[in-house]
Structure 1
C-alpha cells in the first residue's frame, strides 16, 4: 500500500477541514441548518484547530515509513481517529438516512481512511526496492 499517498490525502482532508472549521464555522452551521450560537462556534473553532494539528502531523510524516513498528503512534492515532469517527458517522447515517449528502460523503471518506490506516497499522511497510 502506498502510505505516502494515504498520508498526503488524509493530511489534505484534515487540513482543509481544520481551516474551514476555524475560519468559517458560521457558514458551516448555516449550511447544516443549525443554530449558530457563540458556544457552538467556539467549539467548532477548537475542533478546527485539532483537525489542523492532526493534518500537519500527517503532512510532516508523509515521506517516512509507516506501518508495523515504524511510526506506530502516528499509525494508531490515525486508525483510532478515522475508525471511531467513521463508525460513529455510519451509525448516525443508518439511523438518520435523511441527513445531507455532504454528511454521507464525509462518512464514506472516514470509513475508507479507517480501513486504509487499519491495513497500514497491521502491515509492515514494503521495502522500496521490492
Structure 2
C-alpha cells in the first residue's frame, strides 16, 4: 500500500476524535445512537472512548515505521482484532432504528478492519524499493 503512513495518521486522528467525544460526552453519544441514557451506557461509552484513544496512540506511534507483513505485526494485529470484532458486534446488535453514531462507528470499525487486514497480508513498502 503506497499511502500507509497517511492512512494510519488519518485513522489515528479519527479514533482520537471519536474517543475524546465518547470520553467527555457519553450522554450525547447515547442520544446519537438512539439509546436511552443510563449510567451503564455512559460508563460503556467512556470505556469505548478510552479504547479508541489507546488504539489511536498506537497508530500514531507507528505511522512512519515500516508496517505490514512481519513489521509492526503486534500493532497491526491488535488493531485488526479491535476493528473486526467491533464491526461484527455492531452488525450483530444492529438496532431497529439506528442513529447516526451507529453508522459512524460501523464505518470506522469496518474501515479499520479493511485497512489493517490489508496491512497484515502484505509486506511494507520501504523507501527506495
Offset at 1:32?
2.6
TM-score, structure 2 as length reference: 0.85
Offset at 1:100?
2.7
Q: Deviations over 1:71-108 (max 9, x none)?
A: 11001011111112122323444xx5642344234313
Return closer, same or farther for 1:88/1:3 CA change in 2, 3 Å cut-off: same
1:60 aligned partner:
61
**3-state DSSP of counterpart to 1:70:** coil
Q: Deviations over 1:1-27 (max 9, x none)?
A: 121122112111210111011100111
Structure 2: tracts of 5 or more residues without a match: none
Count residues in correspondence: 128
1:7 aligned partner:
8
Check if 1:31 corresponds to 2:49.
Answer: no
2:110 aligned partner:
111
Check if 1:49 corresponds to 2:56.
Answer: no
In the aligned structure 2, how far is the partner of 1:100 from the partner of 1:81?
22
Structure 1: tracts of 5 or more residues without a match: none
CA root-mean-square deviation: 1.9
TM-score, structure 1 as length reference: 0.85
Flag as ranges the 4+ runs of structure 1 deviating above 4 A: none
